[in-house]
Every structure is written in structure tokens, then in C-alpha cells.
Amino acid sequence: MRHGGAGECGWAVFRQTLPRDPGNPYEEERPTSIPMVTPAAIREAALLLLGKIIRTPLVYSPTFSGMTGAEVYLKLEAMQKAGSFKVRGAANRILSQREGIGNQGVIAASAGNHAQGVAVAAGIAGAPATIVMPVWVSPGKQEAAAGYGARIILNGSTLQESIDHAMNLAAERSMTFIHPYNDEAVIAGQGTIGLEILEDLPDTGSIVVPVGGGGLIAGIATAVKAIRPDIRIIGVQAAACPSAAAARETGGPATVTAHPTIADGIRVTRTGDLTWPAIRDLVDTIVLVDEAAMVNAISALLERKKVLAEGAGAAPLAALLSGAVTPAPGEKIVLVISGGNVDAFLLERIIRKGLYDSGRVLQCTFEIEEGVRALPHLLSLVAAEGGTISRVEQERITPDLPLHLIRVTLEIEVRGPRHGRRVMAALETAGYPMKVPIQGTGTHP
């Protein structure tokens, strides 16, 4: 593998061996040329974007470092313009080729962040923007892209279907299509993150990056490996849509079935053809995280660092806290928090579930004697143990309940699982055993 120098064009050529035709055992291996963005193109992108985007901070986290034994740093692309890294690639693509964009402007397909990035970049360049989004995209992300001046079209049950529709419209209406990841200028723009990380933390040991179509990790890996080939580049995908992991297993981009996930920003069913060479040759490993791990990571970032991250943005921390990524003791590891554009209604559910899963909120049901002092006595016991009651529900008339009893369901806020167990033990000792198993016991002390 070779990287282009400063005097080369924005592409280097890599040779890939294609699989043989199984119907012809005498066929020789067929080499083909696969283009890949060079470090020189990424440096050019950094110069073009200077002053037009935010140079996002790289912050140390004592909390996550203490939890993992590594030195954990967060690259906060959630603080970027439009709330994600996507504006880097979109701005590089549009600004570097502005003279080729006609009066109809640009068109893109996106599940949210690329849409907003393109809208912002088009505004900087003074070009109209149209965005095609999958039908399942949250109203919040639709409104956000529209708020930056883009026209929104809902079409497609997957991102790939939205991309196909946008490309058809581009051909019909003479618009410039901006691909979310399968574009050399977009990849180069995303790679500027890698340059910033190394400038701020030259002795980085590992960089953990969320992976959808692969533009972000391809750009970062190309920039970083050219300077520090010893740095580990680790990709993270939602287990619900493991397209890059499947590509690594099969030896090339493969289409996978996408299941529902809170990480809609990386819900991409097929790795990009242009991003694949970097994923194959420069990325050290791809790991998968489940929904519970991402919920936990979103909650942890919000509570411990006051950072709002979407599912895809929290995936690197989910991989670290779940053990999918295991750093060496004391290793300096950078987590790319790629975006923070999470729908407000989804965020409410995520926070609530995170509190239940971590044992910060308990939900339990009791059957107590009817009487004016019965419920106040139960509530006073909870208060005496330091629990805060956030919800009370009562049932009096139900077929399975004796007439002298009432069924009470409490939602109790506690400091954590140990505190919750102490509250429950005190209630049982006082004669209030639970009739329905407790929810929210937590998995951490």
C-alpha cells in the first residue's frame, strides 16, 4: 500500500483481487484498480475547511478513565456545526467543486446528520439543497434539516433506497448528488478529524470510530495511519446492522438486513465501495454493540460529561464500557463522539430506560391492607430509607384482588442498585413483600 505525497492528486490506486467465477475453475485471478483517498487530499481538505467549520475539542474523561483503566479522551463532533461530523465531508465536497454546481443546486440522501451537513454546507456555498430521507427518520431530524434551508423529500424504507431515489432525481433535474460516504471529497473531509486528533494528542494509542457506510472511519484511518501506522483504528457498529463487519468476513461489501436500532446514523445496509479499501487495509478491527450498551453509553455521557450524543455517537463508548474494546492499561484511547442529533422524544425514552437498567429507578408492586394509614405508612418507609417516590398507582377493584386489599405500584428513585436493594429489604422487613418482581435492579454497583 502506498500513500500519495503532497504533489500527487487526491487519489492513490490500490490493487484488489476479485473472487474467481465458481463456474470456471480455470479462470485466473482478476486484478482491478480500487481508488482510495490520499493523506494529501485530507490535508488539502483541512486547509479548505479552515475557519468554515468548528475545530472540535478533544477532552479527557477522568470518570471513564477510572472505569476502564485507560486514559480516555472524547473527540466531540457532537459540538460541530449542525451537530455532527457530516458537515466536514459535505463542505469539502461542495466548496471544492462549487463551480460545477448548477442553479438546481445539490441533492443528498440521509438519515439525518448528512442532511444537516449538506444543508449547512450548501448555505455556506450559496447553493440550494434538497434532501431525500428514509420514511422512518424522526420528525426532529426532518425539521432540523429543513431549518438549515433544505427541501425535504421522504422516500425509501432503507438509506440505500433513499440514495437510489436521490440519484434518479439528480439525473432528471440536473442536480449535483452528494453521497453521504461513497465520495472521495466527502471521505477526505471526514479525515480531517484524524489530523486534529494527532495534533492534540500525538501519543494516541487507539481511536474508536462509529461505522455506517464507512466514510468517517476511512478518512480517519487514512489520515492517521500515514503519520502513525502503529495506532489501532477500531470500528464500532450496531449489532442490528453489521454491514462493515459482514464485509470483513466475506471479503467485500455485502448487503445485510437492517433491524431497528437507536443508532440510526449508522444503520447502513452496505459498506461503500470507495470506503471498503480503507476498512479492509487500514482498520484493525470491527466490533459490534447491542442496544442496551448504547442506551447505557448515552446515559453515561449525559450524566457524567454533560455531553448529548445520539446512538451512533455513543457507540464508541458503548464498545469500551461493554468490553467489546479492551484497551491496554494506561493506553490513551480516543472515542469519536460523532454526533448529538437525537430526537427529543427518543431521548426521553432512552434516559428513562437507562435509569431503569442502571438501577437508578425501581418499579415494584405491593398488596397492602385497605385503610387510611396503610399507604402513608408505606410511603414513609420509602422516604426514611432515602428513596424518592416519583409515581404512585393504586388498584382497588380488580377480579384477582381480595376486597380488603389494595394494589400499589411505586416508582422509586434511588442512588443505585445497592441503595435500591436496601430500600426493598427495609420494606420487606416491615411487612411489605413485593407481589410483582422488581424492575430496575441494575447491573452496576
Active site residues: 86, 338
Strand partners, 208: 234, 335
Assign 394 to helix, strand or coil: strand
Exposure string (b/e) for 145-177, b if CB count within 10 Å is 16 or more? beebebebbebbebbbbbbebbbebbeeeebbb
Minimal CA–CA distance to 83: which of 41, 50, 53, 47? 53
DSSP H stretches of helix in 333-373: 344-357
Assign 205 to helix, strand or coil: coil
Contact yes or no for 118/90 (Cβ under 8 A): yes
Contact yes or no for 334/208 (Cβ under 8 A): yes
**Residues 6+ positions from 99 with CB-CB distance below 8 Å:** none
What dihedral do alpha carbons 265, 270, 272, 277 form, nearest 10°? 120
